[in-house]
Amino acid sequence: SKVINVNQGSDVTLPCSLSTKEDIELKLFDWKKDGQKDVFLYDEGKHYNNGREGQDEQFKGRVSHFQDKLKHGDASIKIINTKLADSGDYTCAFPRLQPSQIFHIRLVVVVGDLKDRSGENIPGAAPEPYIRILDGTNNWVLLQCKVQGAFPQPKLQWQDSAGNILPAEEPQVSERGGSYDIILKTNVTKTDLYRCVATQEDINHQIYAETYVPVSGPILKDGESGSSTGWMVVAAVLAVLLVVVVVVFILAWRYSRRRSTQNSQRG
């Protein structure tokens, strides 16, 4: 899929064009974000900006198409005043075409001109954050993000896969030798790809780390292993099987002795 980067607050055009260049003024095309959010739907002239309902609240009043380009097979859309939450995977689909066609675009919204400058040998540039799973149940997971040896003091944020900023505890900040160590924790309650972002606006540096968190089933903290639990289960099963085998052996032995005694008496 095509990847498009844009600064937060800027406008962006997401491209979508048929290779045949055929007129789509009387066709249907449907834009969605992350497979579920309704971004823009055009159906034979009716769309979200002229009366059609159903558009996701996130995009109301911010998305438009290019009417004069429809006759050339161009279904591109424009999103104004982009937000971090606009980051994600977009699809442009023509479900009624034979065969149906779908195009994929990934949009990444970043803050200003910030970028990863860790390879530029800038003194104090924050290294990649270190993410740990501290605790969890079937319903929630406690994540920790840590950045060490950064100057000036970076700002840490937790984001979900859609770019939404997550609520977090107060950051733990310590200073040593003129640089800062920062820890930021957050509780998450759904399965998703989570990102910890460290930002130093003074030096236009931004770096992040990601981790996939499944919020279901047993959650293993860092340093723990599922092997111990697995061995306990295996041991329990083997113990039960051993008891069954012993009982069967004893019953068989007793039956054999009884038959032997009966045969002796008959003889």
Whether 44 contacts 27, CB under 8 Å: yes
In 93-124, which positions are buried (b, 16+ CB within 10 angstroms) versus exposed (e)?
bbeebeeebebebebebbbeebeebeeeeeeb
Q: Which helix (H) or strand (E) holds 230?
A: helix 226-266
- For 44: left if phi > 0, alpha if psi spans -120 to 50, otherwise beta; the answer is left
Tell me the mean pLDDT in the region 156-183.
Answer: 93
d(CA 158, CA 168): 7
Q: Please give the average per-residue pLDDT across 7-28, as a whole number.
A: 91
- Section 24-45 average pLDDT: 94
List % helix, strand, coil for the chain (3-state, nearest 5).
20, 40, 40
- What confidence tens digit (pLDDT) does each residue in 77-120 have? 999 989 878 988 999 999 999 888 999 999 988 766 778 888 87
Say yes or no to pLDDT of 246 above 90.
no
pTM: 0.46
pLDDT (tens digit per residue) in 134-148: 999 889 999 999 999
pLDDT of 222 higher than 90: no
